[in-house]
Amino acid sequence: MSMLLSKYLPIMNRIIYTSVAALFLFVGAGCRKYVEIDQVGTRTLHYTKDFQALLNYSQVMERTYYYPEMASDEVNIGDTNYQKNMRDLDVKAYTWAPDIFIDANDGDWDGLYKQVYYCNLVTAGVLDSDGGTEAEKKNIYAQALVHRAYAFYTLVNIYAKQYDAATAAGDPGVPVLTVPDFTGSLQRASVKEVYELVKNDLQAALPDLTDVPSYSSTPSRAAVYAILARASLQQGLYADAGKYADSALARQHTLLNLADYADNAAGLPLKLQDPEIIFLKSMTITLPTFPLSDELLALLDKTDLRYTLFTADGANFPGNGFIGRGYYRPRISSQGVYTGPCVPEMMLIKAEAEARAGNIAPALDMLNELRKHRYKPADYTDLRVTDAKAALRQVLNERSRELMGRGFRWFDQKRLNREADLATTVTRNNFRGQSYTLAPNSNRYVFQISNVYIKLNPEITPNPR
C-alpha cells in the first residue's frame, strides 16, 4: 500500500511542478509574442493595399460640398411653409448671411480637409509600404495626388475669391497641408499658389495613372484631364480648358441616351456603372429637397427628358414636399448628387472654348451631340445660331440644363460675374418676409470660414463678408 502511495505522490508532484514550470517558462520566454497578435480588420497602416483601401473609402473620399448649391441661383424658395421649416444653416446659406456658421462646424470644409488628411497619409507612407509592387505604390501615390488636388481646387473656389490672374498672387486662398500632421501652420496660401499646387500635382500624377479605371471612383488620366479642364475654365484659360477637355474626352466619351430610359427611370445605371461619370464625387447631402428656380425651369422644354425624368413636382418629395418643382434625379436611385467631372461637362467645356474662340459650328455641333441624347428622337431639334455671342449664350444655357441641381452653378456664377454681360444679380424675394440681393462679385460670393477654425488657429484670416 505504501508502495502505491510512494509511487503516486512523486508522479503527481512531478506533473504539477512541470506544468507550473512550463507556464512560467512559456510566459517568461514567449510573453511578448503572446500578446503581440494581429487583430481582424484593424491594423496599423503599413500594407500597400491598405493605402488603396483608404482612397477607396467612399464615405470620406467621395463627398464634396452642399452649401454652395443652396446659395446658387438655381434655388428659389417661394413656398412660405417650406421657408419656415428650413434648417438654420440652409437659411443662412440661401440668404448669403454674413455669418453662416458662427461657431458651428462647416461640414463641407471638414469633409474636404478630411480627404486632404487621408491623401496626405497615403503620400507620406505608400512608397515605403509593404506588399506592393513599385508600380502599384506609385499608382496609389498618384491617385492620392489627384484626390488632394480636387479637394484643394474645390476648397479654393468655395472659400476664396474667384481666380483673377491680376490679383491671384495676393488673394488669400485656403490653408495648404501636404503632410499628415496636427501642428503645422494653417496660414492661407494665395489663390495662385493653390491653383499651382493643384495643377502641378495633377501633372505629376499623370504618368502613373491608368487611362480609364475599372471604377470611376479611382482617379485616372481621364480624371486628371477633366479636372485640369475644369480648373482652366475657372481661371478663364479657355483654350487650355478646351484642350484638356479634348484629352479627357479622348479617353472617355460615352453618353447615356435618355430616350432609352424615358419610361423606365429606375433602369438608369447606378453611379459606379454610369458611363458618363469620369471622376465620381458627390454632394455631402444625398437627397437634397428644394424647389428649383423659375429661371432655371424656364430654360427646360417640357419635352426635354432632363425635365421629365430629372425634375418632379414638390409634392412627390417626402413629408409634405413643397410648392414648386425639385431636382428629382437623386431620388430615383438614392445614389447621391454627382459633382465630379463627367462626359457632358467636358463636352460643354469644349463647346464653350470653341464658342469663345468664335468657332460657332464646332461649338454647336458639340451641343447638339449632347442634346440628341437628351430628347426622344421625335422631340429633338438642332440648335442653330449664327453669332458667337448667341452661341456662347446657348452653351451656357445648355450648361445650366445639363448640370442642373448638381452644385456647378455657384462656381459658374462666380466665374461669369467677371464678364459684365454675363453677370447676374440674384434676388431672394419675400423670404420670411424679407428680400435679399446678391450683387455680382459681392464679397458674399466667398464663403465664410467658420469662426471655430479661426479661433483654434488665428493665423487663418477671415473672409470679409
Partner 1 sequence: MPKGSSNRLSGDDNLKDNRRLRILTLRVMKLSTIIVLAACLQVSASSYSQTVTYTCRNESLVNVFKAIKQQTGYVVFYDQGMVDTLQGVTLNAKEQPLKSFMNEALQDLPLSYTFKDRTIVISKKSVINQLLDRAAQEKPQYIFGRLLDEESQPIENASLTLQPLNLHVVTDAAGSFSFGEVPPGNYTLVITHISFSKLEKKIKVKGETVDLRLVMYKQRVELGAVEVSVASTGYQKINRYTSTGSYTLITAKEIDANPSINLAERLEGKVPGVHFDLANNRIQIRGANNFATGNDRNVSTPLIVIDGFPAIEQNLANYPGSPLGEGAVSPNSRSGIPVSNATILSIFNPADIQSITFLKDAAAASIWGSRAANGVIVIETKKGVKGRTSVTASSTISVSSTPDMSKANMMNSAQYVDFEKELYDKGYFRNDPTTHWRNMNVDDAVLAMYAAKRGDISSAQLDAKLQELSQRNNLGQLRKYLMQQAVTQQYNLSLSGGAGNTSYYISGNYSANSPVFKNNSSKNYSLLANLTNDFFNRRLTITTGLNQVYSDRMVNNAAVTAMSTGNLGLRPYDMLVDEQGKPINRAIDYMPHVIDSLTKLGMIPWTYSPFEELQSSNVYKTTATRLTSQIRANVTEWLHLDLSGMYQRNLVDMSNLQKQNSYVVKSLINTGTSFTNGKPVYGVPLGGIMYTSHTATEDYSLRGQLSIDKQFYEKHQFDMIAGTEIRQSTGSGYSQGHFGFDEDTYNSVSVNPTTPYKTFYGSTATIGAQQSNILVTKARYLSYYGNASYTYDYRYTASGSLRFDDHNLVGVERRNRAKPLWSAGLKWDLKRESFLENVRWVNGLDVRASLGTGGTIPMSATPFAIISLVAPDGITQAEPGAYVGLPANRDLSWETTRTLNFGTDATLFASRLMVTLDIYNKHSYGILSSLPINPTYGWDFLSYNAADMRSHGVEFSVSGDVLRSRDWNWNASFNITYSTNKVTDNRFPNKITSPTGSPVVVTGYPTDNLFVYRWAGLDNQGQSQIYDRNGKVIPSSETTDLTPEDLLYAGRTTAPWFGGFNQNLRWKQFSLGMQLSYYMGYKVLRNDINIANYPTGDQSSGFLSTSKTLVNRWRKPGDEAFTNVPGLMNFNGTSIQRYMMSSVNVIDGDHIRLQMLSLGYTLPTTVLNRIKVMKALSVRASANNLGIIWRKNKEHIDPDYMYSGSYTSWPPVRNYSFNVNVTF
Contact partners, residue 274, CB within 8 Å, separation at least 6: 216, 256, 268, 338
- Where does 347-423 show beta strands of DSSP type E? none
Closest CB to partner 1 among 332 and 416?
Answer: 332
Closest CB to partner 1 among 185 and 200?
Answer: 185
Please work out the total of residues on this chain that contact partner 1, with binding judged by CB under 8 A: 86
Closest CB to partner 1 among 5 and 420?
Answer: 5
The residue from 78, 110, 299, 390 that contacts partner 1 (CB under 8 A) is 110
Q: Do you know the residue count of the chain?
A: 465
Closest CB to partner 1 among 105 and 430?
Answer: 105
Closest CB to partner 1 among 60 and 212?
Answer: 60
How many angstroms separate the CA atoms of 233 and 240, rounded? 8
- Reduced to 3 states, what is the DSSP secondary structure of residue 123? helix
Residues 404-463 that bind partner 1 (CB under 8 A): 452-453, 456-457, 460
Closest CB to partner 1 among 8 and 207?
Answer: 8
How many angstroms separate the CA atoms of 445 and 414, rounded? 7
Give the helix/strand (H/E) hosting 437: strand 434-438
Closest CB to partner 1 among 214 and 386?
Answer: 214
Closest CB to partner 1 among 116 and 149?
Answer: 116
Question: Nearest approach, Cβ of 79 to partner 1 (angstroms)?
Answer: 11
Regarding 177 and contact with partner 1 (CB under 8 A), the answer is: yes
The residue from 94, 109, 152, 327 that contacts partner 1 (CB under 8 A) is 109
Residues 246-265 that bind partner 1 (CB under 8 A): 265
Longest Cα–Cα distance of the chain, Å, equals: 122
Contact partners, residue 455, CB within 8 Å, separation at least 6: none
The residue from 71, 116, 249, 337 that contacts partner 1 (CB under 8 A) is 116
Give the helix/strand (H/E) hosting 367: helix 360-372
139-173 exposure pattern, b = at least 16 Cβ within 10 A, e = fewer: bbbbbbbbbbbbbbbbbbbbbbbbbeeeebeebbb
Contact range with partner 1 by CB under 8 A, out of 38-46, 238-246, 366-374, 407-415 = 38-46
Residues 328-367 that bind partner 1 (CB under 8 A): 328, 331-335
Residues 179-238 that bind partner 1 (CB under 8 A): 180-182, 184, 186, 214-215, 217
How many angstroms separate the CA atoms of 385 and 360, rounded? 8
The residue from 65, 66, 96, 113 that contacts partner 1 (CB under 8 A) is 113
Site map (CB under 8 A) of partner 1, residues 304-333, x = contact: --------x--xx--xxx------x--xxx
Site map (CB under 8 A) of partner 1, residues 266-295, x = contact: x---xxx-----------------------
Check: CB of residue 386 under 8 Å from CB of residue 358.
Answer: no
Q: How far is the CA of 73 from the CAs of 129, 232, 367, 444, in angstroms?
A: 47, 23, 23, 13
